[in-house]
Amino acid sequence: MRSNQTLQLSDGRQLGFAEYGALDGEPVFFFHGGPSSRLFHHPDEQIAISSGIRIISIDRPGYGLSSFQPGRKLLDWPDDVNKMADALELDCFSVAGISAGGPYVAACAYKIPARLTNATIISGVGPTDSKKNTERLYQKRQIAITLARKAPWMLSPLIWWFQNPQRDPERYFRKIFEESSRPDQVILSQPEIKSMLIPNWLEGTRQGVRGFAWEGVIFAHPWGFRLEEIQLPVTIWHGDIDASIPLSMAKQIATAIPNCNLKVIPKEGHFLFFKYWGDILNNILTEPPGDSYEN
């Protein structure tokens, strides 16, 4: 895994990224969750290698090695992805995102569809303008959405105090574990996953929590485009007992996007990524939109 690479942009910003898997394989840009970083990956790199896929994981602005971008909007991200693809001399590529990375997949599918060969959302965040969606979120997330809309300046200090892995990474992990569904707790109990997640969270907040807080502001407001306008086929993977992101969010996205394949995985939670990564990669390469998934 080549984990500490950077790209200097013309506006003076820097993007951090990592590459792993089959480095001469089919390129897939991977968008991490939050607070996370380019270091988020499946502990078994052989899965991506055997699938013939090159994973390019980019730190979003304010996370990891990527410069903070004041006033950033969701639709700014596809421009950064384009610049990264140009620098790596990639004409076409796939995009995949987990959790908070999901909206960025949708943004790319909307703004740069001509360059995409596949768009996949895994346990992804959906629009927060639906009461049905937000009332099923953790209470602290409902509070964060309200603050992001009415008093965004308060969000960063509150996140620093209550959701900052830098303050006590072991305590932060325990909190995630306690809030997770039983299938996720089984996954999080695996030592190799914990030993990846904690350094990943620490790397994601190495600059502080400003990037994480600003992303909360982005998600609390309209995304800047209508999901109905996405013409590229999109695949969504979501567990039916995801305690972090309600299934209703995935259903809302799937209903809005004209050509969307929602794969609801029975008895799985937010971290289904770690069990189904091989299936997800094979789907990116081979499965036509509209095929169903049966567990």
pTM of the model: 0.93
Q: What is the mean pLDDT of the chain?
A: 92
Give every CB contact of residue 263 below 8 A, 6+ residues apart in sequence. 235, 236, 237, 238, 292, 293
Lowest mean pLDDT among 45-49, 59-63, 125-129, 186-190: 125-129
CATH 3.40.50.1820, applies to 2-286: yes
- Given this model, what pLDDT does residue 291 score? 40
Task: Report percent pLDDT > 90 for the chain.
Answer: 83
Q: Which residues, listed in sequence order, are joined to residue 94 by a DSSP beta bridge?
A: 28, 118
| Cα angle value 153/63/129 (rounded, 5°) | 55
pLDDT band at 131 (very low <50, low <70, confident <90, very high): low
Mean pLDDT calculated for residue range 76-101: 98
pLDDT band at 287 (very low <50, low <70, confident <90, very high): low
pLDDT at 283 over 80: yes
**What is the number of residues in the chain?**
295
Which DSSP category does 124 fall into?
A: -
Domain borders along the chain are: 2-286
Encoded tokens for 176: 């995630």
pLDDT tens-digit series, residues 148-173: 777 787 778 788 878 899 999 999 99
- Given this model, what pLDDT does residue 158 score? 80
Higher pLDDT, 240 or 153: 240
The DSSP secondary structure of 224-263, one letter per residue, reads: SS-GGG--S-EEEEEETT-SSS-HHHHHHHHHHSSSEEEE
Mean pLDDT calculated for residue range 116-144: 80
Query: Rounded CA gap, 57 and 82, in Å?
Result: 14
Query: Rounded CA gap, 2 and 55, in Å?
Result: 10
- Given this model, what pLDDT does residue 48 score? 98
pLDDT tens-digit series, residues 8-29: 999 999 999 999 999 999 999 9
- Given this model, what pLDDT does residue 146 score? 73
